[in-house]
Amino acid sequence: MSKKSILHMFDPMPHNSPFDVNMAVDAGFDIIMPYNNVNFEDTQRLVQDAIFSRGPKGVKQTAIFIGGRDMSLAYDMLTASKRAMVPPFEVSVLADPSGAFTTAAALVACVEKALADTTTRTMADCNVVVFGGTGPVGIASGVIASLTGATTTLVDHLNIHTAQDTAQEYNRLFNCQLQGAVAGNHDEKSALLAEADIILCAAKAGVQVINQALLTTASHLKVAGDVNAVPPAGIEGIKLKDFGRRFNNGSSAVGVGPLAIGDIKYKTQQRLLRQLLTAEKPVYLDFREAFSVARHLVKLS
- pLDDT tens-digit map of 201-232: 999 889 999 999 999 999 999 999 999 999 99
pLDDT at residue 1 above 70?
no
Stretch 278-290: mean pLDDT: 95
pLDDT of res. 93? 98
Please, what is the end-to-end C-alpha distance for the chain in angstroms? 41
Stretch 260-284: mean pLDDT: 96
Which of 247, 160, 241 shows the shortest CA–CA distance to 199? 247
pLDDT of res. 43? 97
Q: Which domains does the chain have, with CATH numbers?
A: 6-99+265-297 (3.40.50.10280), 102-261 (3.40.50.720)
Stretch 125-151: mean pLDDT: 97
pLDDT of res. 301? 55
pTM (two decimals): 0.96
pLDDT tens-digit map of 161-181 = 999 999 999 999 999 999 999
pLDDT tens-digit map of 122-131 = 999 999 999 9
Phi-psi map region of 124: left, alpha, beta (phi>0 left; psi -120 to 50 alpha):
alpha
pLDDT of res. 292? 97
pLDDT at residue 282 above 90?
yes
pLDDT of res. 128? 98
Stretch 261-282: mean pLDDT: 96
Confidence of residue 54 (pLDDT cuts 50, 70, 90): confident
pLDDT tens-digit map of 99-125 = 999 999 999 999 999 999 999 999 999
Percent pLDDT > 90 in the chain is: 92
Stretch 246-250: mean pLDDT: 80
Stretch 41-47: mean pLDDT: 97
